[in-house]
Amino acid sequence: MYPTRLALTDRAIIALPLTTSGQQLVRDTELSGFFVLVGKRRKTFMVQADLGAHGKRQSIRVKIGEVGQFKTREARGRAKTLLGSIAKGVDPRAKARRKNN
């Protein structure tokens, strides 16, 4: 069984085993909204926050990157930036959609 909350460090994330089926969220104890999504093949840094837009609130998740692509400290810094922009009402997914089109 995975812990649902953990002080996310490089060592702690490496120690998390991949799942046998499905996915598991392991949330950071230091930064609310920052977590690692553990799957059958990989581990991914992500953020989740409430976005207030057009008078409505919706919870959004944004991928930061794969574990191994970034150190945990760098991923946490990117998470702080993303969470700050989401708190200001900016949807970071919109920029990614424009880039892909």
Look at 1 and 6; give whichever has higher pLDDT.
6
Question: Per-residue b/e over 8-30, b at no fewer than 16 CB within 10 Å?
Answer: beeeebeebeeeeeeebebbbee
Q: pLDDT-based confidence at 101, cuts 50/70/90?
A: low
- Supply the pLDDT for residue 67: 96
Q: Per-residue pLDDT tens for 33-83? A: 999 999 999 999 999 999 987 778 889 999 999 999 999 999 999 999 999
CB 70 within 8 A of CB 45: yes
Q: Which domains does the chain have, with CATH numbers?
A: 5-93 (3.30.160.390)
Q: For residue 37, what is the enclosing H or E element?
A: strand 34-38
